[in-house]
Amino acid sequence: MTAVNPLAVLMPGFEGPTLPEWVARRLSEGMGGVCLFATNVESPSQLRELTAAIREANPRAVISIDEEGGDVSRLYQAQGSPFPGNALLGRLDDPAITRAVGAQVGWELREVGVNLTLAPDVDINTNVANPVIGVRSFGATPELVAAHGVAWTEGVQSTGVAANAKHFPGHGDTAQDSHVSLPTVDADLATLREREFLPFQAAIDAGVASLMSSHIMVPAIDAENPATFSHAILTDLLRGEMGFDGAIVSDALDMVGASGEIGIPAAAARALAAGCDLLCIGTKNTDAQMSEIVAAIEAALEAGTLSGERLQDASRRIGRLVDTTLDAPEVPAHLTRGAIPGLDTTALRAGFQMADAVAARLSQVTPGDVAWVRLEPAANIAVGPSPWGPFASGVTADAVVSPDSGLGSWSPAPKQTVIVVGKDNHRHAWAREAIDALRRFDPIVVDMGWPDLTAPYADIATFGASRFAGQALIEVLA
């Protein structure tokens, strides 16, 4: 049938801080790699032991992680990220700083044995209602996103860690989340070429090692198949027209946008046939799933819907991806984790948006006379549960409002300044209602997500909710 082991293109996830027996066995049998998540991370020393065990089972394994350096941070998910995040970097618009952030992320990943980060996100966030990209994007214009996507890629790859530009052909102009549905981008082809494709082309020209497919419909290119399953998008466009010769990594195949109707094994076979090389399977994967996926790939080979040459090509591209990470520079002997050379909270605050009237009010605020109201949306699936904003740095909320609980009868003490802090305030009816109810106290409203600056729900916009951004916000309010 083919000389290539179907396991070679699989990259599952697993639960816990130690390597399960079944994962070690599959790696020794030739499985291509693993994808690490927050459940796999307890400390740098533990993570080094885990990646060493993975490499003992398969010295050429791809060890990937979703470390975007901002709201999406697996290294720091338990504490909140010490990095600014893409939207803030785009607001600062200093490619040297963006490159430094990418390099810092790369060194920290190298230190713990990871060789592929599933970043940077080079989607253009043109839709303020986007529920899944938002502050993961560098901005709303193709030129800005392209410049910073290239800088971040150069930074991380200078450390010997492969980058992964995502989510091709562009997830920024959607109002749905592909984790839970199948979004559609309705732009015409001319718009896509001028907007969505530009940052990806820039990353390709800069030598990005891998790209990630997205589980979205783009009818202007393929009206029948999501991008992950589209030969027209991944092979004809990305490979043929745009000239990408690196590895194509699928977004997680356990997402509804990929396998919601057909299941993970069928999704794996279809993604391979379309042009994906390395298949990210998901999070809580099992040995039985690997057997089912291998069987589906072998059945597709037998039926002729997947060629042996395509499987061989995928395996070869994964090997080349690993090769790019082998001849790597030494990790600095005294690496300071979480510190970005040339960037502190004072410099970071230049990326905040603040009305002049609010700035004048802040000069009258006494830090001890502040009442904090925390608007707590459901955790973005891509971000996961993680401390965020000022609350990751020890600030205690005087009141917490969520989709399931309102303000009730809460009110501040006399003369207290009410600071309301949320994420994407304009997108949530319950958050808007809470802010409107608090108007009688003349609050200062902070949005640490991607704000709609035309709506009255962001007196201060931080364009990111990392712990670093939260520390900078505390200093602004102090």
- Residue 273 is inside which H or E element, if any? helix 264-274
The contacts of residue 176 (CB under 8 Å, 6+ apart) are 131, 182, 183, 184
Helices (H), 363-457: 429-437
Provide the sign of the torsion angle of the four alpha carbons 303, 306, 311, 312, taken in this order: positive
* DSSP 8-state code for residue 278: B
Beta carbons of 118 and 65 less than 8 angstroms apart: yes
Catalytic residue among 148, 167, 171, 179: 179
Residue 447 among the catalytic residues: no
Residue 251 among the catalytic residues: yes
384 in the Ramachandran plot: left (φ > 0), alpha (ψ -120 to 50) or beta?
Answer: left
The contacts of residue 366 (CB under 8 Å, 6+ apart) are 417
Indicate the pairing of strand 460-461 with strand 353-354: antiparallel
Peptide bond before residue 226 is cis, with ω within 30 degrees of 0: no
Residue with tokens 């020794």: 28
Catalytic residue among 123, 251, 277, 424: 251
CA angle in degrees (0–180, nearest 5) for 297-301-307: 110
* DSSP 8-state code for residue 438: G
Question: What residue ranges in 54-163 does DSSP mark as E strands?
Answer: 62-65, 116-117
Euclidean distance between CA atoms 91 and 100, whole angstroms: 16
CA angle in degrees (0–180, nearest 5) for 294-295-296: 90
One-letter amino acid for residue 381 of the chain? I
Provide the sign of the torsion angle of the four alpha carbons 196, 199, 200, 205, taken in this order: positive
Euclidean distance between CA atoms 275 and 233, whole angstroms: 9
Beta carbons of 353 and 453 less than 8 angstroms apart: yes
Bridge partners of 217?
184
Helices (H), 78-173: 86-92, 95-112, 142-157
Helices (H), 185-249: 189-194, 197-205, 231
Residue with tokens 């600062």: 92
Bridge partners of 422?
447
Count each helix (H run) and each strand (E run) in the chain, helices first.
16, 14
Structure tokens at 239: 């490979």
* DSSP 8-state code for residue 19: -
Q: Count other Cβ atoms within 10 Å, centred on residue 371.
A: 19
Positions marked catalytic = 179, 251
